[in-house]
Amino acid sequence: MKRLGFLMLVLIIMLTGCSEPSLPTSTIQTAIGTEKTISFAPPSSKATLVSPHVDARKTIESALSVMEDETLTKSFWYTGYIRNTIHKRKTTSMFSGTYLRPTRTAMDARMAAIPYRFYRDGEAFRYIWTPETDWLTVKSLPVPVHPFSSFTALLPFFNDAEQWDDEVLGLSARAYRTYVQADAFLSAWETYRTAHETKPLGDAFNPNDEANVLKLLSTSDILLTLWLQDDATLHQPRIVQLEAVLLLPIPAAGYSMQEVFFRFFQFNDPSIRLKPPSDIERYLKDDDETMGH
């Protein structure tokens, strides 16, 4: 028993001679000659494939009409992120908040991990809070906001989709998933850009740069998944989740995995109440001339 202390010290010496544990090693076959180079995991660990080819446009459209209808979808919670992984570097932006129809929303957000809050009630009342500034009036040009009709831009891709049985927040859901060709996605993106993005985002392209980027991005891979869940009271499906995975070629850095994910929940929850703009305006730290909203 008296030797126990010494034994402990011997053990330490033994520990310093260890090697790093390795999983079983093996041989990997070559990928030369195989067609598909990219593989995606199922929508979730619980998902089971129901059908590899369905035309999901009608179903999604009807779900969209429920979401767009301001009497059927009066309010909801949303949460989501955009995450980029390039080699070991990961950059994440996060957005979560409540939406009260017709036009009021408050959001807690982070852009590349930099925190802020955003409040919007139509184009007239837009405020931002940052830890350094408190509430200020937003100065950027307003863009129209249509939380769900914006999904119609994705609809054409679901003419030939996989259908999966899956779960969202513990309830059964249907996942529709489609692999989109880079060319098709890029042309839909161009429509979006010309319709929605002028300044401050769209002015940096000159034709030559744009051609170079389009050539580069033509080797991207895109995977879109929409999750639909039946509303218990309406007996109609709602859109409850969106995921887009974009594999993008990145100069001198392999490919980037970009994940865009949003989830919608607690529809028409009576606890969703949002302060009117006048409540925020009391806290505004703007100069006097910008207080005029």
Using CB under 8 A as the binding rule, the residues of this chain from 223 to 282 that contact other proteins are: 224, 242, 244, 246-258, 260, 262, 264
233 vs 287, beta carbon nearer other proteins: 287
Told to check if 6 binds other proteins by CB under 8 A, we report yes
Q: Which of 28, 71, 288, 292 binds other proteins (CB under 8 A)?
A: 28
Kindly report the number of other CB atoms within 10 A of residue 95's CB atom: 16
Helix (H, G, I), strand (E, B) or coil at 212: helix
Query: Alpha helices of 31-134 — where are they, by DSSP H?
Result: 57-68
Whose structure tokens read 């767009």?
Answer: 68
Rounded to whole angstroms, the Cα distance separating 104 from 144 reads 13
Q: Which residues on neighbouring strands pair with residue 126, listed in sequence order?
A: 120
What is the pattern of x (binds other proteins, CB under 8 A) and - over residues 45-74? ------------------------------
Q: Of 188-207, which residues contact other proteins (CB under 8 A)?
A: 188-189, 192-193, 196-197, 200-202, 204-205
CB of 44 to other proteins, least distance (A): 14
Told to check if 102 binds other proteins by CB under 8 A, we report no
Told to check if 32 binds other proteins by CB under 8 A, we report yes
For the sheet with 114-121, list strands across it. 48-54, 161-168, 171-180, 221-230, 237-249, 255-265, 75-86, 89-100, 104-111, 114-121, 125-130, 134-137
Q: Which of 75, 98, 105, 163 binds other proteins (CB under 8 A)?
A: 105
User: Considering only 147-155, 163-171, 230-238, 271-279, which stretch makes contact with other proteins by CB under 8 A?
Assistant: 147-155
